[in-house]
A and B are shown apart, each in its own frame.
Chain A
Amino acid sequence: MTLTEEPEGTRDSYTPSRRRLERERFKRARARRATAIAALSTLVTGVALYLVVVSAPGWPRTKETFFDAGYAREALPKVLEGLWLNVRLLLVCGAAVLVLGMLIAVARTLRGPVFFPLRVLAAAYTDFFRGLPLIINLMIVVLGVPALRLQGVTVDPVLLGGTALTLTYSAYVAEVFRAGIESVHPSQRAAARSLGLTNRQALRYVVLPQAVRRQVPPLLNDLVSLQKDTGLVSIGGAVDAVRAADIIVGRSLNYTPYIVAGLVFVALTIPMTRFTDWVTARLDSRRTQGGTA
């Protein structure tokens, strides 16, 4: 768009040629035209969507039951209070998931006959919990475990819900770590072994650090996903953001609190997503920098 800066020294003597000025003019005009088209297109789409929704036969009724400002004001503080539980669940489960996922991934890469049962168990675990719908896992753990009436085992829906989330997400994260471990080139392991490092030392000092670094973007992606799925612990009766909205809905028969809870989750997820993008971009730029001083 603008003239790029010239290196020191040549700046005084250089005057842009007519050809260059002509090109810059054309590019500026083209950019202006593109912006105008984008704005117009957005406006038309917005108006069309608005008209479709507002002219729907059920709109007045929908507006009343889903978008009521009064109920929204009433629900927001309660929902935010509940959200604190979701945030705590995210932090605790997130940490547990990273540790457990790593252990499972490493168990799957262990060699030697002694570790055969461990390898099989780890593989079976990931296969099972990756396939099991989270909601069913939650119901089995949150509702099933208390039904056993085991002495000394908690019936707290928050703890049980957190356990169920950890079980499922550990399976996802284990696969992410495993993909990372396998993406490290065999020559790195060969270099480590040729220095006399044992298999375990090669894994710990050479393979895992590189694997984890590479997998940061997909890991954060899973954490974003875990963040919103903490809302599912409400099925056991734990008062999180979703359950807080549920209580008001049950009393008022107005669905606005659900919309509020949904938006609050979105608001919480957006910074996390942007952070993921930022980290990914930074990692990429470091990688492509290679070689230049």
Chain B
Amino acid sequence: MKETPVLRMEAVRKSFGDSLVLRDVDLEVAPHTVTALIGASGSGKSTLLRCANLLEEIDDGAIWLDGEEITDPRADQDAVRRRIGVVFQSYNLFPHMTVLENITLAPRRVHGVGRAEAEEHARELLERLGLAEKAGEYPDRLSGGQQQRVAIVRALAVRPRLLLLDEITAALDPELVGEVLAVVRGLKDEGMTMVLATHEMGFARDVADQVCFLEGGVVLERGTAQEVFGDPQQERTRRFLRRIVEAGRL
């Protein structure tokens, strides 16, 4: 029997005013797999992630998390978000809190974990990501790469079922991209289920079990990384990948 997908989307439709951003998107994410969303800016990648986390309300269709429909208006949105971790392009760390406070906020206030226990877990995670000595710093004292790694730790601290990564390296200097991607690779090895929107095609090819190419709010092509990057079926996928290669990004 097939395992229940962690995330399932069916015919999801979302528009902002007159512009239709997602048109009838279907998506299935199996446990312990990585799904990469690729496509040009404005193709709907970020909106798809925001809809999955209920930060945006969808117009039509449905989304399930572990087989439970979360787009039902009667669903407890806060409870849903507790099971999904999100890392944003611009980190969105809380500037008035230290690294440790950023990480322990949700475990303590949302999950009722004791302070000592929350801090111990946070320090463990920081240690693993090579940030142990940054626990007492404020975010504005860290480099972009360090901030993004702290943001990942913050999302992991609540032991989420699913991690959504929204172009997490897009705001970073090129030499800092590597350290963040290494973290994501480590998470994959540990079996974390992830959906990531990315412009890093080389990384998507290495790490993703499933690649979805979005254009104009539609999943135009999907398959394994080998299929989509090695032998794209759609002319527009080929064109997109050619442009990426020409820009030296693959």
Contacts and interface: CB of A to CB of B under 8 A. Distances in A.
A7 interface: no
B92 interface: yes
B2 interface: no
A206 B96 CA distance: 8
A121 to B, nearest CB: 27
Interface residues of B, number: 27
B98 interface: no
B92 A196 contact: no
A213 B96 contact: yes
A210 B92 CA distance: 13
Nearest to A185: B92
B53 interface: yes
B246 interface: no
A209 B82 CA distance: 23
B94 A193 contact: no
A193 B81 contact: yes
Nearest to A196: B82
Interface string B15-55: 00000000000000000000000000000000000000101
Interface string A193-219: 111111001000110011001000000
B7 interface: no
A293 interface: yes
Is chain A's interface secondary structure helix, strand, loop, or mixed overall?
helix
Contacts of A205: 105, 109
Given A188-B94, A195-B81, A209-B96, A291 B110 contact: no
Given A201-B110, A291-B140, A293-B141, A195 B92 contact: no
B124 to A, nearest CB: 18
B80 to A, nearest CB: 9
A4 interface: no
A198 B82 CA distance: 10
Contacts of B95: 210
Interface in B136-175: 140-141, 143, 154-155, 158
A197 B110 contact: yes
Most buried by B among A195, A205, A291: A195
A210 B154 CA distance: 19
Contacts, number: 62
A195 B109 CA distance: 10
Interface range on chain A (Cβ under 8 Å from partner):
20 to 34
Contact of A187 (B88, B110, B155): B88
A291 B53 CA distance: 30
B84 interface: yes
Contacts of A293: 141
Interface in A245-288: none
A289 interface: yes
Interface in B106-147: 106, 109-111, 140-141, 143
A204 B109 CA distance: 11
Given A209-B96, A213-B96, A291-B140, A201 B90 contact: no
A191 interface: yes
A195 B96 contact: no
Contacts of A196: 78-79, 81-82, 106, 110-111, 158
Contacts of A192: 94
A4 B140 CA distance: 29
B86 interface: yes
A197 B55 CA distance: 13
Interface of B: 53, 55, 78-79, 81-82, 84-86, 88, 90, 92-96, 105-106, 109-111, 140-141, 143, 154-155, 158
Smallest CB-CB A-B distances: 4 pairs: A196-B82, A191-B92, A290-B140, A195-B106
